Amino acid sequence: MSNLADSIEGQFLTLHEFVKEAKGRLSPGNWDYLVGATETETTMLRNRAAIDAWAFRPRVLRDVSRIDVSGRFLGRPIGLPVMFAPVGGLENFDPEGGAPAARAAAAHRVPIMVSSVSMPGLEPMAKAAEGGIKVFQLYVRGDFAWIEDITRRAIDAGYDAFCLTVDTAIYSRRERDIAKRFVKPWRARATGQHFQAALNWEDVKRWKDRFPATPLVLKGIATAEDAVIACEHGVEVVYVSNHGGRQLDHGRGALAVLPEVVKAVEGRAKVWVDGGFARGSDVVKAVALGAELVGLGRLYCYALAAAGEAGVARMLQILESEIHEVLGLLGVTAFGQLDGSYLHPVAPIVPPHVHSAFPLTNLSDPGYR
């Protein structure tokens, strides 16, 4: 992967350059789908505000000449403590859909969670991610027999875990799309929403009873109460998420939810989180607050739209460099040394925005790319 990323190193030196390049390449409809959220987009803004509400407490005069940036996936070593979160319609960002992102993730030893509404589909994505860690995420569009069939296909294809999304019982109003009369192709094809609406804890129990050897992820947990119930059902991963602000409006930011969920889980399950994470410092904050993995969504989509597989590979290179820098400046040499003592609650300085993590994005100065 290094050679692929190195081939465009001079074109992309900072993460915000992927954002600017992606905007120039995408249609207005696909751009709004990527950056937008539900109704007032308040939940999306709170995702960013929650991340910015923590400041670092660095320690000094420690030997940080050698730093290990590796993470864990259900206890297994991986390249970074990040995962590509499931994104529907990746074919709108690259002609190959999610396959280039899967190849780049595998090469960098980063897991990918494959969306059931993204091309090229379950088996081709497994092949693209061959040698890497992969999770299949399902939107429920059929009865339990249908869920069983999809699960078996995922197991047979070599997926390392299975994910049920649980925060989409009702499909939200995404007004950027509505106002522009933009109909996403995968939404036009979608049927069986009532099966997702009927999904309940009894279905989770049936799934765990039927597939006890396969780790189950519940994505979309937003309270300590539901995290406790998930643990009582033997779920291996509680995934804190608000769908990037695309489902319930006026929800809490994901990083604001994370501490209560970590406390409620009490080590009975791993905790993953996504929602507005865009910089190396964001990843470090989430791990310090108890997350095993941090899901990236928009960030890898920008890179994919900007430069395909090479763009995603280069994005991971830059992100790793940012993480290495933050760990060293905090005075730690591995993620396992982090805890909440390295953070302090503060009032955010920057008004939240989908791109507020990239302050140079909107500068008109020609010296900035």
> Which residues are designated catalytic?
243
* Residue 159: closest CA among 209, 218, 111: 111
Which H or E run contains 113? strand 112-115
- Give the span between the Cα atoms of 95 and 105, in whole angstroms: 18
Amino acid, single-letter form, for residue 201 = W
CB distance 219 to 114 below 8 Å: no
Alpha-helical segments (H) within 7-98: 16-25, 28-35, 42-52
- Beta pairing, strands 76-78 & 343-345: unpaired
Please tell me what DSSP assigns to residue 324: H
| Sign of the CA dihedral running 24, 28, 30, 36 | positive
Which H or E run contains 326? helix 298-330
Residue 16: partners with Cβ closer than 8 Å, 6 or more residues away: 355, 358, 359, 360, 361
- Give the span between the Cα atoms of 171 and 46, in whole angstroms: 20
- Give the span between the Cα atoms of 21 and 37, in whole angstroms: 21
- Give the span between the Cα atoms of 326 and 331, in whole angstroms: 9
